[in-house]
Amino acid sequence: MAPSHNLEMPDKRPSHPYRALDRELVPGHDKKLDMARHHVTPYNQLKALWNANLKDPAVARSLLLAIDTNIGLYTDRSDSARKDDQRVRTFCAELANGQFTHNPGGDRHTGWDSFWEVYSWLPGNLFIGPTTRADDPEENFEKDAEPIFSSAHGVDPRYGLLSLVNKKITEHLGSKTCRSAEEAYGMLAEVATQARYVDYQGSHWTWETDKAELRRLKPGAKKQPPDGPRIKPGTGS
């Protein structure tokens, strides 16, 4: 009988495995701000996809193999995170090949924590922006982030892929069909080939002061939301 481990992902995401970021200026504001790595497809969706398929984790085979192949290319990760790359690769290869199964009462695989960290913070699913934002969607998809992935050469295909990933995860959670899960993981595998997140570019951001627009961006706020940075509407330059 194959060994088993607890593969369930908890509600709270792990700390990121990257180095510290420099503070940056946002157009329309005169002080540098703290920066953070923001998810396009949120962790709660990634977690839900993973946890919904614990009885058949091989459905994630394409993503597991993509991480196994590409993890050494992921840039800007801390030295301590890189020390565990081999554990992540072993975890991915063994699970993809069905060498262990899920058991909610089991222990954690030696590569679990590091894999969970990498899966939760795939560089291709991230972009740099101010830590505190007027337009932060919290645990929802970054529907206004396409300009961040724009350039003079057109739109980075990752944004379209991540939009489809989010859509397929939602479909899967509603129907529980294996096909939608495989499609979501297949597209995440493409995202996992990207070695770096999208770096900060000031021209993609603006400082929002319009009170009505701030309320629109934070419809659930009990008080008037304060002025703050947001993604600049329209196509990035």
Which mean pLDDT values do the consecutive 10-residue runs of the chain (237 residues) have?
A: 90 96 97 98 97 91 97 95 96 94 95 97 97 95 91 73 94 84 95 95 96 93 94 70
Structure tokens at 220: 């659930």
Query: Into how many domains does the chain fold?
Result: 1
45-to-55, 119, 146, 174, 179 alpha-carbon distances in Å: 18, 12, 19, 12, 17
Q: Quote the pLDDT of residue 162.
A: 95
Q: Quote the pLDDT of residue 177.
A: 73
Cβ burial 193-205 (10 Å sphere, 16+ → b, else e): ebeebbebbeebb
131 assigned to some structural domain: yes
6 assigned to some structural domain: no
Q: Quote the pLDDT of residue 91.
A: 97
- Residue 68, domain extent: 22-231
Q: Quote the pLDDT of residue 178.
A: 74
Phi, psi values for residue 130, rounded to 5°: -55, 140
7 assigned to some structural domain: no
Q: Quote the pLDDT of residue 2.
A: 75
Q: Which residues contact 36 (CB under 8 A, 6 or more apart)?
A: 21, 128, 129, 130, 131
17 assigned to some structural domain: no
C-alpha 207/C-alpha 224 separation (Å) is 16
Beta bridge partners, 101, equal: 4
194 assigned to some structural domain: yes
2 assigned to some structural domain: no
Q: Quote the pLDDT of residue 193.
A: 96
Q: What is the pTM of this model?
A: 0.94
Do 128 and 200 form a contact (C-beta atoms < 8 A)?
A: yes
3 assigned to some structural domain: no
205 assigned to some structural domain: yes
Strand intervals (E) in the chain? 4-5, 35-39, 101-102, 126-130, 150-151, 154-155, 205-208, 228-231
Dihedral over Cα of 139, 165, 149, 35: its sign: positive
